[in-house]
């Protein structure tokens, strides 16, 4: 039985991870991290009775085989350092990371295996495999990426949208893509090599990403949408299964699925 701990246990993704894990036969969520000083009385009523809550990351690490983190960048940084010190693999889906946070993940990954993905859905992992070939084959076509999320999402554009563009940009290394975030107001004539990134925030949309490629005569549009956060939770749990016995390093979810 794979024992997991969850950081971000009070958030929507943390709750989804617990929900999906409860329906598996090979994974047990045994511990969760809460902020120091938090009153957990009400929280306790919504959690499995056997789940241990702790406000100390080293204590969490001692209880589990893998940690899953959906929190915020500063807590992810602390989790990466605690995981490295404890020798516990880390799966993190936290987005909005700054350069210092990414550097901390790379440093920790020298000591333990870490999976970082902006999106843990299997569909996006497959799309990341397809897009480089499309970008190479349709080298003269324009590219636009449109992403839609719920009104409370903090970062824009989404980490997934950026990752999709990066996958295509590497395939067009000879003519690097220039990011344009939205267009206008006023004159905004498209320039060669641009890729437009457009963020929509409205309602309760879980997540929808559309990649548009177009020439003067035809176009291709690919859309992935998540119908439930359970799609991300299932992917994070699959990453936890696959990362447990890997050597230290920073892994992508797509890499784990297809290597």
Q: Which residues are catalytic?
A: 149, 153
What tokens were used for 194? 């641009």
CA distances from 97 to 44, 87, 213 (A): 30, 23, 28
**Total count of residues recorded for the chain:** 259
Q: For residues 108 and 77, give the distance between their C-alpha atoms in angstroms, rounded to a whole number.
A: 9
Q: Which of 137-160 are b and which e, b meaning 16 or more Cβ less than 10 Å from the residue's Cβ?
A: ebeebbbbbbbbbeeebeebbbbb
Burial class (CB in 10 A: 0-12, 13-18, 19+), 191: exposed
């Amino acid at each position: 039985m794979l024992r997991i701990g969850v950081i971000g246990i009070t958030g929507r993704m943390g709750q989804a991870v617990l929900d999906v894990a409860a329906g598996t036969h090979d994974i047990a969520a045994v511990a969760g991290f809460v902020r120091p000083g938090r009153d957990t009385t009400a929280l306790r009523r919504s959690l499995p009775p056997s789940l241990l809550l702790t406000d100390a990351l080293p204590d969490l690490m001692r209880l589990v085989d893998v940690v899953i983190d959906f929190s915020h960048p500063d807590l992810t940084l602390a989790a990466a350092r605690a995981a490295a010190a404890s020798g516990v693999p880390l799966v993190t889906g936290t987005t909005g990371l700054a350069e210092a946070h990414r550097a901390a993940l790379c440093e920790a990954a020298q000591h333990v295996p870490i999976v970082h993905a902006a999106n843990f859905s299997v569909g996006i992992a497959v799309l990341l495999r397809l897009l480089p070939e499309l970008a190479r084959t349709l080298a003269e076509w324009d590219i636009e990426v449109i992403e839609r999320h719920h009104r409370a999402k903090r970062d824009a554009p989404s980490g997934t949208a950026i990752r999709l563009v990066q996958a295509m940009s590497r395939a067009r290394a000879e003519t690097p893509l220039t990011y344009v975030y939205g267009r206008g107001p006023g004159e905004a004539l498209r320039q060669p090599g641009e890729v437009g990134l457009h963020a929509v925030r409205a309602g309760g949309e879980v997540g929808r990403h559309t990649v548009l490629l177009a020439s003067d005569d035809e176009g291709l549009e690919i859309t992935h949408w998540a119908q439930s956060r359970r799609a991300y939770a299932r992917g994070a749990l699959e990453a936890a299964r696959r990362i447990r016995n890997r050597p230290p390093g920073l892994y992508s979810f797509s890499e784990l699925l297809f290597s």
